[in-house]
Amino acid sequence: MAYARSRPLSLIHMAMSKWPCWVAKTSLSSAPSFMAPGKCILEIMSNNTLEEVRGFTEEQEALVVKSWSAMKKNSGELGLKFFLKIFEIAPSAQKMFSFLKDSQVPLEKNPKLKTHAVTVFVMTCESAVQLRKSGKVTVRESSLKKLGASHYKSGVADEHFEVTKFALLETIKEAVPEIWSLGMKDAWGEAYDQLVAAIKSEMKPSS
């Protein structure tokens, strides 16, 4: 088993592809230890700091692709359901959206909310589908820098991301009940967590 203390990245990537769920963990002063299957986390040494590189397995990718293929045709309806769940759990989140302030239109009929909801839902799902293929978080029709700046400006906090994650998983579960499983939940959860981590890294004032 290759581990990260002195191996080049090419060998690390080979090790990850060969043993996707048994990955070495190193520290500055201790010998490598091994994480439990399913964690798929690799910590690599770089300039006396540890960087975490999280894997997204082929099995997880297949589950995400399968469920997104089943949902895609109904993305408009599901996107709205997704946001209605968010507001049901956290009504105060509505204040973060300028187009909802002082609006007398019911949420489920608000055209601006419908447009925004489907955009976010599709972006989130397609980011998950592309995660393993691209090797990084990618977003369409926007950029991580813009997303980070807008989330920073709106005052989005960790609890908002957690509510959104719960609403997303519940929306997908209800959309594909016949194929939903714990493995699928974990796959979507991991993809979402990586998207959030990428957004958080760019949450700073726009220059």
Mean pLDDT by groups of 10 residues along the chain of 207 residues = 38 35 33 37 28 69 97 96 95 87 88 93 93 81 75 80 95 98 97 91 76
Determine the pLDDT at residue 128: 94
Determine the pLDDT at residue 206: 63
Determine the pLDDT at residue 157: 80
Determine the pLDDT at residue 190: 95
Determine the pLDDT at residue 8: 38
Determine the pLDDT at residue 95: 86
Determine the pLDDT at residue 143: 80
Determine the pLDDT at residue 201: 87
Determine the pLDDT at residue 30: 35
pTM score > 0.75 for this model? no
What HEC string does the chain produce?
CCCCCCCCHHHHHHHHHHCCCCCEECCCCCCCEECCCCCCEEEEEECCEEEEEECCCHHHHHHHHHHHHHHHHHHHHHHHHHHHHHHHHCHHHHHHCHHHCCCCCCHHHCHHHHHHHHHHHHHHHHHHHHHHHHCCCCCCCCCHHHHHHHHHHHCCCHHHHHHHHHHHHHHHHHHCCCCCCHHHHHHHHHHHHHHHHHHHHCCCCCC
